[in-house]
Structure 1
Amino acid sequence: MQNPSLELQLQTLPDSPGVYQYYDKDDKLLYVGKAKNLKKRVLSYFNKVHEVGRTRVMVKKIVTIKHIVVQSESDALLLENNLIKKHQPRYNVLLRDDKTYPWICIKNEPFSRIFSTRRMIKDGSEYFGPYTNFKTIHTILDMIKELYPLRTCNYDLTERNIQNGKFKVCLEYHIGNCKGPCEGYETLTNYQDHVDQIREILKGNFKDSLRAFKKQMQQFAADMEFEKAQIVKTKIEALENYQSRSMVANPKITNVDVFSIVSDEGAAYINFLQISHGSVIRSHTLELKKKLDETDEELLQLGVVEIIGRFQLKPKEVILPFEIDLGEHIKVTVPQLGDKKQILELSVRNAKYFRMDQLKQMQIVDPERHTNRIMAQMKKDLRLPEEPRHIECFDNSNIQGTHPVSACVVFKDGKPSKKDYRHFNVKTVEGPNDFASMEEVVFRRYKRLLDENEPLPQLVIIDGGKGQLSAALKSFDTLGIRGKVAIVGIAKRLEELFYPNDPVPLYLDKKSETLKIIQQLRNEAHRFGITFHRDKRSKSALNSSIESIPGIGEKTMQTLIKQFKSVKRLKMATQDEISAVIGLSKAKKITEFYHNQKTDS
């Protein structure tokens, strides 16, 4: 144990739910956590070996432990959330989103105005939202304006003021956007009926508004007022169109909040959907930046509490991907199939899209952070002891056993390092023997790096299955670097990753960034090897073609190979082009030789 004082603090912790706080020697708050049992949770930090470096570092810094006992675990969760936001301790999850969001307000006044605002005033007005962007609000308010003629002025429309004729109708009345309640042209009862229908639309209930509009349209049609009936029909179509776009599930599913989580090494993304009458009436994704080795359960619990508090939710039922404790008054559903499962999958898709957007932005704004995140993810996905900052990939190329060559491509920090690419002419192998070729070039590559005291890669990828991997391992054993450098083989067809001494291959998610980088390495090695192989075949063909020309010596042959690189190019060259390289006399011999070949054929 670190010191007697700390040991005493640990022994005197209660077995109660609560919040614990870690402080360093300067009395600076390091971390805030919640626990069902304070003693068990805090002791776990000191009784186990932590794999994550940041957790180890934090535990070494702890000098003082303070705690607050509460009634239940849900109370501890709320208190933890408040303390994290207030103090922002160094090792706690960072809530990366602390903006104020817009609401739609139904003002508490006669002839209620309906508008967007970021300020909530407790004067009896109703607020719907918040919405994560103004685009959604503008869409809703534009639709409401199209459906209902509401006032936009800020007059105090009391009955007395209207009767005293204090106000005059404005342009909005004359162009048909308002029915003129300021001069008594519209009754308060009729106006508030419209407000009631808007309130239901904002809750996701379109049924009452559609019924009222259809009844109104039928009445106009019965009275032979077809123009007015057409106007109402247009409103019905607008409302039905908006309903169809927002409806995602069975209309019977109402007053349900959905939460899902998608995470990687650096952050977690928690999506929230609020469902009313089968429609999404609110959506938001919260990003949590990880500091320690937090589980998805811990992060989702923290995120749900944060969103409930931020949006002032009063959930009766929440849909989650797995069970977490949110207190006795909230029903938690973990759906396995049906409509609720589909809504959960929609939430997961939203979280994934948000994550991809954030990663694209990070790649542009903060490329170093983007690289660090990918390296950490590759380390985790490939079960490596360290981040693969330096990766090398080998690929063999030969056509029917001719001109066997091999290519080695190098990636540093997830990007090609073309100056470090290497070609190998296979020297000790006769015929098409991929295994022996792989053994030779891997030995030559790392024998040279060791002789020149150059750094070895953290990861070597062998393009091929178990056979090629075993061949490469023989060279590793000979050089004594097995265990010092991670090595895997990738099979072409199913993208299987093979590890030494492990008969079961690893399959990565087809959309994972780790697999994409491995595929990029493999494709780049294949391209680089094929290009070298093609050049070698062309030069070989040119060499044999020139050798058969009488009067052309080896020196002239090398000059022509260097200049024209292929038989086809040499045949197509004019006598002047060839003479510019080797002189007129020899150029005539070459052009006559190829001309006679054409004549003979």
Structure 2
Amino acid sequence: MEAKQYEITEIGKLPNQPGVYFFYNKQQQIIYVGKAKDLKKRVSSYFNKNQQDNLKTRRMVEEIAAISFTIVNSEYEALLLENNLIKRFQPRYNILLKDDKSFPYICITRERFPKVITTRQPGAKLGQYYGPFTDLKNMYQILDLIKSLYTLRTCNYNLLEENICKHKFKVCLEYHIGHCKGPCEGLQTEEAYNQDIQQIEHFLKGNINAVKKHFKEKMSQAAAAMDYKNAQAYKEKIAALENYQSKSLVVNPQVGNLDVFAIVSDAKAAFISYLQIKEGAIICTQNTEIKKQLEELDEDILPLIILHFREKYASNPSEILVNIPIATTFDKAMLTVPRIGDKKKLVELATKNVLFLKREALLRQEDNQNRANKTLVLLQHDLQLKDLPLHIECFDNSNIQGTHPVAAMVVFQHGKPAKKEYRHFNIKTVVGPDDFASMREIVTRRYRRLIEENQKLPDLIVIDGGKGQLGAAVAALQELGIYGQIPIIGIAKRLEEIYFPEDSYPIHISKQSPSLKLLQQIRNEAHRFAITFHRDKRSKTSLKSQLESIPGVGEKTITTLLQHFGSVQNIKEASLKALASQVGNKRAIQIKEHLK
């Protein structure tokens, strides 16, 4: 995004006006987009240590290298812009709302004699869309009702007037069983067909009373003309509509059209329930869970959610019911926290749904935790460990013919990856391809540091490799004087053998056992993490050697480029202007030409 950027020390230059602000990291990536009634006050609050009350916010603030902003006319405009920019840039620290594009829609096609179809890939060219439908059963009930009320074509004929006049088509079985009136042979006029389409549009928009009124008028006209057969048919259609309407949760027709939202949350997630009300009946519901990024408050999350769902379901009632007060004002819509009557009952219903959703999420977490604990108990039994291995650390080396030797350590806590605890190691004391010496070095460095910092040692150490690598790790623990205090095993890839120190023969755990699958997952994760680090290091070294061969490019310039752009690909893809901002125009041209 092209905008003037400000240093953190220049926050005082920001205006006291509504707008949207952007936080950038050193790589010029947008890491957060926010809205504000007062840009200067809001952005300043992030750098007030008294208000940095959670770890994620502090971590984000540490990453901020620059700030930019866009001024708008009102807080509502800021909300709209923020919503669009979050979808576009998907910043790391923003709540990301899913578009749910996999949900199906009902579409009235844009063609002569339109069809009513379902699709999961909405596109404006095909026709007018209604949905999305989160409940497939409900969608098919609606389609069945439409089929019983109206006679629509299902064929794919191109029903241009000239094609019909030339008698290119013949009626099919659908005509003979009464499901179609034969527009392909000119047996139904376009005007009469489009009247049915217009009524279907009313129905899909939730205007059921308008459809009933239309059928009542038709029934009266048929009865007046003594066409009792058609009058009875219209009567049956009205009964079908009333039966469908009775199955919907009708609150009170006097309530009219409303959007209803309820939100509850915990430290990690927010749970939202949405009800769409048309003519007093609930025509659409959706419950969703959203992972928090910065421990956001409910009153900050809810405006984005309201905007998202109203846009998604093309809903625009003038009144929105919510279960908590929020300060944001919406253009052409009033937010209300109802205290009495049917509106309060609607909010209570949404709240009941959202509390159930939260309870389900907690039960699911407990179930996953219990499953993980059962696996750890089984692992404890299979390895004959004294304590439950709640904290496991696994080591792996990576090198190609001795070049760029690196190592990695991954950590699993309670049977799950703890990615914040992962560590990379550059091998410092070993020359050449010596996996055993490399393993001894990194194990020594890891646990010497834990001992010096008086930190808790793991419950189990896993070494990716057989007896040789395990022996090197044991030697490191012996040197530190902690051998015997921590259980340590090696896992060999070929036959998935588990080696113990001072034991000549490995043990085999059943390949179907959850405990072996957990060990394999830990070993594979360590291998992946080590390989990724190794690739990155090779890429940077390769780039450095390429840059060193350019006349006038020295160590200082190379360091500047690597620190700013981070990777080979980023430097190659950087614009001449971006390169020139770091190393000057002349040198930037040299680098661009060389890297081609």
Q: TM-score range by the shorter chain?
A: 0.5 to 0.7
Residue 68 of structure 1: aligned partner: 70
SS of residue paired to 2:15: coil
Structure 1 residues 233 and 200 mapped into 2: Cα distance closer, same or farther (>3 Å)? Answer: same
- Asked if the contact 2:257–2:280 (Cα under 8 Å) also holds between the matched residues in 1, the reply is no
Structure-2 separation of matches of 1:221 and 1:67: 67
Residue 174 of structure 1: aligned partner: 176
Decide which of 181, 189, 192 is 2:191's aligned counterpart. 189
Aligned AA for 1:236? I
1:82-231 → structure 2 map (5 Å cutoff) = 82-95=84-97, 98-123=100-125, 125-214=127-216
- Asked if the contact 1:96–1:289 (Cα under 8 Å) also holds between the matched residues in 2, the reply is no
Residue 335 of structure 1: aligned partner: 338
After TM superposition, give the deviation of residue 221 of structure 1 in Å: 7.6
After TM superposition, give the deviation of residue 168 of structure 1 in Å: 0.6
Residue 79 of structure 2: aligned partner: 77
- Asked if the contact 2:271–2:289 (Cα under 8 Å) also holds between the matched residues in 1, the reply is yes
Structure 1 residues 225 and 300 mapped into 2: Cα distance closer, same or farther (>3 Å)? Answer: same
Aligned AA for 1:62? I
Q: Which segment is superposed worse, 87-96 or 226-235?
A: 226-235
After TM superposition, give the deviation of residue 366 of structure 1 in Å: 7.5
Residue 35 of structure 1: aligned partner: 36
Residue 285 of structure 2: aligned partner: 283
Residue 430 of structure 1: aligned partner: none
After TM superposition, give the deviation of residue 105 of structure 1 in Å: 1.9
Residue 9 of structure 2: aligned partner: 8
Structure 1 residues 40 and 368 mapped into 2: Cα distance closer, same or farther (>3 Å)? Answer: farther
SS of residue paired to 1:95: coil
Structure 1 residues 74 and 214 mapped into 2: Cα distance closer, same or farther (>3 Å)? Answer: closer
- Asked if the contact 2:101–2:120 (Cα under 8 Å) also holds between the matched residues in 1, the reply is no
Structure-2 separation of matches of 1:248 and 1:196: 24
- Asked if the contact 2:18–2:73 (Cα under 8 Å) also holds between the matched residues in 1, the reply is yes
Structure-1 separation of matches of 2:29 and 2:373: 30
Residue 348 of structure 1: aligned partner: 351
Structure-2 separation of matches of 1:312 and 1:97: 13
Structure-2 separation of matches of 1:27 and 1:192: 54
Structure-2 separation of matches of 1:100 and 1:16: 39
Structure 1 residues 17 and 195 mapped into 2: Cα distance closer, same or farther (>3 Å)? Answer: same
SS of residue paired to 1:94: coil
- Asked if the contact 1:94–1:290 (Cα under 8 Å) also holds between the matched residues in 2, the reply is no
Structure-1 separation of matches of 2:113 and 2:373: 53
Structure 1 residues 6 and 124 mapped into 2: Cα distance closer, same or farther (>3 Å)? Answer: closer
**Residues 462-514 of structure 1: CA deviation (Å, up to 9, x unaligned):** xxxxxxxxxxxxxxxxxxxxxxxxxxxxxxxxxxxxxxxxxxxxxxxxxxxxx
After TM superposition, give the deviation of residue 250 of structure 1 in Å: 1.8
Structure-2 separation of matches of 1:229 and 1:314: 36
TM-score (norm 1): 0.55
Which of the two has higher C-alpha Rg? 1
1:573-588 → structure 2 map (5 Å cutoff) = none
Structure 1 residues 291 and 205 mapped into 2: Cα distance closer, same or farther (>3 Å)? Answer: same
After TM superposition, give the deviation of residue 339 of structure 1 in Å: 2.1
SS of residue paired to 2:254: coil
Structure 1 residues 125 and 254 mapped into 2: Cα distance closer, same or farther (>3 Å)? Answer: farther
Decide which of 318, 321, 325 is 1:319's aligned counterpart. 321
- Asked if the contact 1:102–1:116 (Cα under 8 Å) also holds between the matched residues in 2, the reply is yes
Consecutive unaligned residues in structure 1, runs of 5 or more: 372-388, 390-411, 414-454, 456-601
**Residues 184-233 of structure 1: CA deviation (Å, up to 9, x unaligned):** 32333332332222222212222243344456667778899877666555
Aligned AA for 1:81? N
Structure 1 residues 195 and 94 mapped into 2: Cα distance closer, same or farther (>3 Å)? Answer: closer
Consecutive unaligned residues in structure 2, runs of 5 or more: 1-5, 375-389, 391-412, 415-455, 457-596
Residue 23 of structure 1: aligned partner: 24
1:194-593 → structure 2 map (5 Å cutoff) = 194-214=196-216, 232-321=234-323, 322-362=325-365
Aligned alpha-carbon RMSD (Å): 3.5
Aligned AA for 2:41? K
- Asked if the contact 1:267–1:288 (Cα under 8 Å) also holds between the matched residues in 2, the reply is yes
- Asked if the contact 1:9–1:65 (Cα under 8 Å) also holds between the matched residues in 2, the reply is no
Aligned AA for 1:12? K
Identity %: 46
**Residues 71-95 of structure 1: CA deviation (Å, up to 9, x unaligned):** 2211221222222223332322233
After TM superposition, give the deviation of residue 36 of structure 1 in Å: 0.7
